[in-house]
Amino acid sequence: MTSRVLVINSGSSSLKYQVVDAVDGDVLAVGLVERIGTTGGVISHEVGGEKHVLRRDVPDHDAAMAAMTEAFVSHGPQLETVGLIAVGHRVVQGGEEYERPVVIDDNVVRVVTELVDLAPLHNPANLAGIRVARAHFPDLPHVAIFDTAFHMTVPPVAHTYAIDADVARRHRVRRYGFHGTSHAYVSREAARLLGRPPAETNMIVLHLGNGASATAVRGGESVDTSMGLTPLEGLVMGTRSGDIDPAIVFHLARTAGMDIDEIDDLLNKRSGVLGLSGRQDMRDLVAAAETGDTAAMLALDVYCYRLRKYVGAYTAALGRVDAVVFTAGVGENSAAVRARTLAGLEVLGIELDAEANAATGRTARDIALPGSRVRVLVVPTNEELEIARQAAEVVNR
Ligand code: ADP
Mean predicted confidence (pLDDT) in 101-128: 95
Percent of the chain scoring above 90 in pLDDT: 98
Give the residue, by CA position, lying nearest to ligand 1 atom 12.
329
Mean pLDDT, the chain, whole residue set:
97
pLDDT band for 386, please (50, 70, 90 cuts).
Answer: very high
**Is the pLDDT score of 1 beyond 80?**
no
Is ligand 1 within 6 A of the CB of residue 284?
no
Mean predicted confidence (pLDDT) in 205-233: 98
**Is the pLDDT score of 2 beyond 90?**
no
- Provide long-range contacts, Cβ within 8 A and 24+ apart, for 33-40: 33/58, 33/64, 33/67, 33/68, 36/12, 36/60, 36/61, 36/63, 36/64, 37/12, 37/13, 38/13
For residue 328, the ligand 1 atom closest to its alpha carbon is 6
Mean predicted confidence (pLDDT) in 144-173: 98
The alpha carbon of 255 and the centre of ligand 1 are apart by a number of angstroms equal to 36
The alpha carbon of 211 and the centre of ligand 1 are apart by a number of angstroms equal to 10
pLDDT in tens, 280-335: 999 999 999 999 999 999 999 999 999 999 999 999 999 999 999 999 999 999 99
Neighbours of 265 (CB within 10 A): 14
- Return the pLDDT at 397: 86
pLDDT in tens, 261-283: 999 999 999 999 999 999 999 99
Is ligand 1 within 6 A of the CB of residue 129?
no
- Return the pLDDT at 264: 97
pLDDT band for 54, please (50, 70, 90 cuts).
Answer: very high
Nearest Cα to 145, choosing from 396, 395, 391, 392?
391
pLDDT band for 11, please (50, 70, 90 cuts).
Answer: very high
pLDDT band for 89, please (50, 70, 90 cuts).
Answer: very high
Say how far apart CA 195 and CA 19 lie, in whole Å.
30
Is ligand 1 within 6 A of the CB of residue 333?
yes
**Is the pLDDT score of 146 beyond 90?**
yes
For residue 285, the ligand 1 atom closest to its alpha carbon is 16
Percent of the chain scoring above 70 in pLDDT: 100
Domains and CATH numbers, the chain: 4-146 (3.30.420.40), 196-383 (3.30.420.40)
Catalytic residues: 147
- Return the pLDDT at 121: 86
Mean predicted confidence (pLDDT) in 371-388: 98
